[in-house]
A and B are shown apart, each in its own frame.
Chain A
Amino acid sequence: MDFLLPLFGRFHPLFVHLPIGILFFAVLLIFLSKKGKTNFSNVIPITFLTGTVFAFLSAISGFLQYQHEGYTWDSVQIHLILGWCTVAFSAWLYFSFRRNPDITKNRKIHSSGLLLILILTGHFGGNITHGDDYLFEVLPSGLQSFLGIEIEQSKPLELPTENWEEIAFFDGAIQPILNHNCTSCHNPKNLKGDMDLTSAKGLLEGGENGKIVNQGNAENSKLFSRLILPKEDEEHMPPKEKRQPRKAEIELIKAWIESGGSMDQTLGDSKVSTSLISQFFAKEEFPFYPKTTLKSISSDTLSKLREKGFFIENIALDNPLLRVSCINFPAFEDKDWELLNSVSDHIAYLDLSGSKATQAILELIGTSSNITVLKLNGLEISGENLSSLKNCTNLKLLYLNSTAISMESLSLLNGHPTLEKVYVFKTPASNQEKVRFSFELETGDYLLPKLATDTIVY
């Protein structure tokens, strides 16, 4: 019959809601009561009695859960004490009302006190199951910092690209993985399965079913095997509703166990494959378009330019940089560049293909420093002044298809620090001998061989 007590303990989550509702209702009755018709004083004692009984049952079941489920005193103490306070306070109010049902100002104050204790008890109880940050986590970060709350978030494991060999395998790689994926349930305060994964000591000790690391044998180590069980399996860890570790993280845990599960060796000693390690390298994000501190152009200005015929749009909703195209403005001439003067610093993508712009436009474009993609397909450009694009210090892609550009003029751009690729399909350059530049050159003119299979009728 050993199971009875823990079973009763598990009814705690059910019981706790009853006193909350009933006692809240009792307090409500006190405040709603008026002399005469709407006097509830005859039902107030019975409400308090019911509330007290269920508060008592909750407190008992809660205590049993604390005894049997691996919660530490530290984590439950406030909740436990407040819970018993609730029982005592509501019992006192019950006896007091039974003796004298009059509703006085003092009693209103007392019952509000009970309500406060009730709310706090509930809050701290919720924190035990959902975590201390449960309520504040969802607040906007501005409000969080205003309230002085700092929410610690464990970060996924990241390794530096250099000298990772010297990092301790366990402390520098495995423990961070455990911290990110496991320790929210397996920590000294919340010992699910009687297991603490926040330290090497706890890990080696294992949990209620014994050791979880079998050095040298990953398949026989629960630390690994329970991670790779199907998600639906009861034994699968982390529980399927929780965030799951990355594949590479599981692989690294496996590698650690198989390399002996030692606490001292470094990543370099362990002979873990570099390809596995490389999956943890911090990915540096290089945004395609430059980062700027420019202010957004007003929608009025944009509207006016649209009326002139430009396609003009922010490259993204809250990005001040612009994409400008003459797709709807084939009559664009060099002098129309003036229209763009007010926004020229904002242009990141400029497409003047098929317009009436001439070679001189290159010098004008050279004044806008944020241009990243420049399309000048089909313009009459031979490119003697192509070097003016050197001032476009963010230029990455340059489209000069169907222009009069030659290898000689392209060489003016050689050494451009950011230029990645230049397209010169259908230009004199595409027929000239290939030259190696600092940027990639796409000359096109692809052909597909004629194959016998092209014409067979199957």
Chain B
Amino acid sequence: MNQLERLLNEFSQQKLQNQTRRHFLMDCVSKVGGLAMAPLLFGCEPGTIKKSQGLNLSDRDLNPLAPLPPPFAPKAKSIIYLHMAGAPSQLELFDYKPELVKYDGKACPESLLEGRQFAFIRGVPNILGPQAKFSQHGQSGAWVSDYLPHFSSVVDEVAFLKAVHTDQFNHGPAQLFMQTGSPRLGRPSIGSWVTYGLGTENKNLPGFVVLTSGGKTPDAGKSVWGSGFLPSVYQGVQCRSKGDPVLYLQDPEGMTRDMKKSVIQAINSANEESFKDFGDPEILARINQYEMAYRMQIEVPEVMNINDEPAAIQELYGTKPGEESFANNCLLARKLVEKGVRFVQLYDWGWDTHGTSKEGSIDSGLRQKCQEIDRPITALLLDLKQRGLLEETLVVWGGEFGRTPMQENREGKVQGWKGRDHHGDAFTMWMAGGGIKKGASYGITDDFGFAGLDERVSVHDIHASILHLMGFDHEQFTYDFQGRPFRLTDVEGELIHSILA
């Protein structure tokens, strides 16, 4: 007994001696630096060291991105989320309101304005009739305007949600709400939740990739693909479709692959020594991350290169090699999903059509934006379909809110171009693919397209349904933070059964 106590005593003494100021600083470097490095290194595989140390650590202890089984058999294996940042006008694309034509140019009824606040509309604006020509398409008879001629040929693959509502009417908060379930900063995005719950399938690629187009990132900044209170390894990894997909991934000139290898080996053996001293599994995770980064250097440029795709596919999507374009991103999304990436998030900026400029108008700018996405989204659905990937990939399309049936009158003045203000009471989104009922339409709006009358769907309902398709019960999928379990859907959300197959 005495001997044991002596031993313990000695052990803790030794430990204290080891913990010098330098050790503390060293820890700071590895931990704080780890936070910064994590998005670059995003994951690793169970290393060889684990076994040699005879430790009983789970795969997740070593590699936070190790795959986990979903609680329920999923309908979809991966998600491609197409977010039209700026909010497209549902009244020019999907929500056909012939009544609105009659009221075009007339003053908006007071009843719609009473007690309401709009982002820019002041006083009494005029009603703006639909600027597009609508017709019904496919077997499902879905209404789609002539702004999306290609997309109208695939409406039978899609389920429309026509009465989505949000309580935010400014871009930043509304984008955060749509992507993280809360209009305020600090919550993990859908992709982070999914990656946290399922890990990554391809050990050489991150589980959550973000691609942006339209010249700008979303107003809400990178927090829309942030990991919030989840460990930072689960945040989205932004890849560029032009130039190096991930910055600083290429070896600098003069650095050969072998040199890189020996550097990493040296670092890893040093880390191994320090693991022997401290027994901290974080160190093992670190070793694996270096290995992962090394492998990723090969895999990422390969999968992010669309030039190898056959000409027919390039033409289908309408890609613009060498440029940053939505079409390129759609093709990349398909490639990434094919390679086992869990969540591909696309942002396309430029949908904020207030009518303050030609580019930002309903009749001109919106048409241009629609032209930019029409072919690519149609191609994406068809390409996923012909490869059988649509069976297990969920595609979501939508903005952060909708637009008003009234013409915007910023500062009480009529604008130079036709435009609509932000509006969250009713707008259209669609989903397609794994587990979605083909050709369904859910949600009814009033004659002005101002508010949902029936079958309304909240942002939380959409999140609940997305998680459901990925094999989660949104009420059970939680993460403990600040003393309480958090959910993506917080305390709300109901499954949208009518669009689930």
Contact = CB atoms under 8 A, between A and B. Distances in A.
Nearest to A327: B340
Interface string B16-46: 0000000000000000000000000000011
B73 A442 contact: no
Nearest to A353: B338
B388 interface: yes
Residue from A307, A314, A375, A448 whose CB has the most chain B CB atoms within 10 Å: A448
A311 B67 contact: yes
B48 to A, nearest CB: 9
Contact of B46 (A307, A375, A401, A425): A307
B65 to A, nearest CB: 12
A454 B375 contact: yes
B371 A458 contact: yes
Interface in B139-158: 146, 149-150, 153
A402 to B, nearest CB: 9
Nearest to B379: A448
Interface string A291-324: 0000000000001001100010111110100000
B46 A306 contact: yes
B425 to A, nearest CB: 17
Interface in B299-342: 312, 315-316, 318, 339-340
B203 interface: yes
Given A442-B385, A447-B316, A317 B379 contact: no
B475 interface: no
Interface string B48-89: 000000000001000000011111111100000000000000
B378 interface: yes
Interface string B386-420: 11100100000000000000000000000000000
B383 interface: yes
Given A319-B73, A423-B387, A453 B67 contact: no
Interface string A273-303: 0000000000000011100000000000001
A267 B67 CA distance: 52
A397 B368 contact: no
Chain A interface, DSSP helix/strand/loop, else mixed: loop
Contacts of B492: none
A328 B74 CA distance: 21
B226 interface: no
Contacts of A443: 386
A423 B71 contact: no
B378 A448 contact: yes
B268 interface: no
A289 to B, nearest CB: 6
A325 B428 CA distance: 37
A444 interface: yes
Counting contact residues on chain B (CB < 8 A from A), the size range is 35 or more
Chain B interface, DSSP helix/strand/loop, else mixed: loop
A420 B363 CA distance: 45
B478 interface: no
B340 A399 contact: no
A316 B71 contact: yes
B281 to A, nearest CB: 16
A331 to B, nearest CB: 14
Nearest to B69: A314
B70 A448 contact: no
Nearest to A423: B388
A446 B150 CA distance: 12
Residue from B68, B201, B204, B363 whose CB has the most chain A CB atoms within 10 Å: B201
A139 interface: no
Contacts of B202: 327-328
Contacts, number: 99
B54 to A, nearest CB: 14
A313 B68 contact: yes
B371 A453 contact: yes
Interface in A74-120: none
A89 to B, nearest CB: 45
A421 B388 contact: yes
Interface residues of A, number: 37
A234 interface: no
A456 interface: yes
A314 B387 CA distance: 24
A442 B67 contact: no
Contacts of B45: 328
A338 interface: no
B316 A425 contact: no
A327 B69 contact: no
A451 B150 CA distance: 9
Contact of A447 (B149, B204, B312, B365): B312
Contacts of B70: 316-317
A138 interface: no
A442 B388 contact: yes
A401 B371 CA distance: 31
Contact of B388 (A399, A453, A457): A399
A451 B386 contact: no
Contacts of B218: none
Nearest to B382: A446
Interface string B337-381: 001100000000000000000000001110110010011001100
A445 interface: yes
Contacts of B368: 457-458
B73 A397 contact: no
A377 B203 CA distance: 20
Contacts of A328: 45, 202-204
B340 A446 contact: no
B325 to A, nearest CB: 14
Contacts of B69: 313-317, 319
B8 to A, nearest CB: 33
B316 A397 contact: no
B150 A448 contact: yes
B149 to A, nearest CB: 6
A425 B387 contact: yes
Contacts of B449: none
A287 B72 CA distance: 11
A425 to B, nearest CB: 5
Contacts of B150: 448, 451
A358 B298 CA distance: 26
Contacts of A423: 386-388
A387 B153 CA distance: 37
Interface in B193-230: 201-204
A458 B364 contact: yes
B382 A401 contact: no
B73 A446 contact: no
B387 A444 contact: yes
B236 interface: no
Contact of A446 (B146, B149, B385): B385
B387 A401 contact: yes
Nearest to B435: A288
Given A316-B72, A317-B69, A442 B364 contact: no
A442 B386 contact: yes
Contact of B383 (A288, A446, A456): A446
B73 A315 contact: yes
Contacts of B201: 311, 325, 327
Interface of B: 45-46, 59, 67-75, 146, 149-150, 153, 201-204, 312, 315-316, 318, 339-340, 363-365, 367-368, 371, 374-375, 378-379, 382-383, 385-388, 391, 471
28 contacts: A288-B73, A303-B46, A313-B69, A315-B73, A316-B72, A317-B70, A317-B71, A317-B72, A325-B201, A325-B340, A327-B202, A327-B339, A328-B45, A328-B203, A377-B387, A397-B388, A421-B388, A421-B391, A423-B387, A425-B387, A442-B385, A442-B386, A444-B386, A447-B312, A448-B153, A448-B375, A458-B365, A458-B371
Ranked 9 nearest A-B pairs via Cβ = A444-B386, A423-B388, A446-B382, A314-B69, A458-B367, A316-B73, A425-B386, A317-B71, A458-B368
Given A442-B385, A458-B363, 15 more contacts: A311-B67, A313-B67, A314-B69, A325-B201, A325-B340, A327-B202, A327-B339, A328-B202, A328-B204, A375-B388, A423-B387, A425-B388, A443-B386, A445-B386, A458-B368
